[in-house]
Structure 1
Amino acid sequence: MKSDVQVEEGFRKNRVVCSLATADGNCTLGFSESKKARPKSLIKGNELKNPGTVDLILRKTTGSLFFDEIIVGDTAMLKQFREKIEDIVSAKLFEDVTGE
């Protein structure tokens, strides 16, 4: 799946300070830094100054230790980032998408 989501670390706008912000063209959503990332602010439009692209977003169910679903990206991206993420991704996901 291709995504138009962009991301920026250390986002600041006026008095809004977020450790991470994402934008999809319609709005900018900021997240505070904590054990669980929680939305902190919502701003109309894309307010990112130095956006980066998002190549891969994974999801895991509540209580699970491992990510087990690809939300954004594809099998090529999963393979590309394998060495960096294999400790947090379920072995089954790698088996399902790579045949390994």
Structure 2
Amino acid sequence: MPVYVKELIAGVVAGALSKSAVAPLERVKILWQTRTEGFHSLGVCQSLNKLLKHKGFLGLYKGNGASVIPYAALHFMTYERYKCWILDNCPSLGSGGGRERKFQR
């Protein structure tokens, strides 16, 4: 399996866990930023309780799926690619082994 595919999979898993852990807080933040009626004057715990009461458990995670896969996976993969290019020890994109071939003159 190519290295970049492994990096994409690792990014999806890591991103899904981390984004889902903070999704309720992100949801409250967005409600505050958009000055949603009934939320702009509440604290964090009060906002979470109100959201849970009115929208249910899934209301805490509304919009989470849209950010997990594309953002987290691509962010992780590009970070790993740039890191290895900067350190000049990238495996080839196809096989996952060996150094990238330098152009010969």
TM-score, with structure 1 as normaliser: 0.20
More helix by share: 2
Report which structure shows greater RCO (CA 8 Å, sep ≥6): 2
User: Computing the radius of gyration over CA atoms, which structure comes out larger, 1 or 2?
Assistant: 2
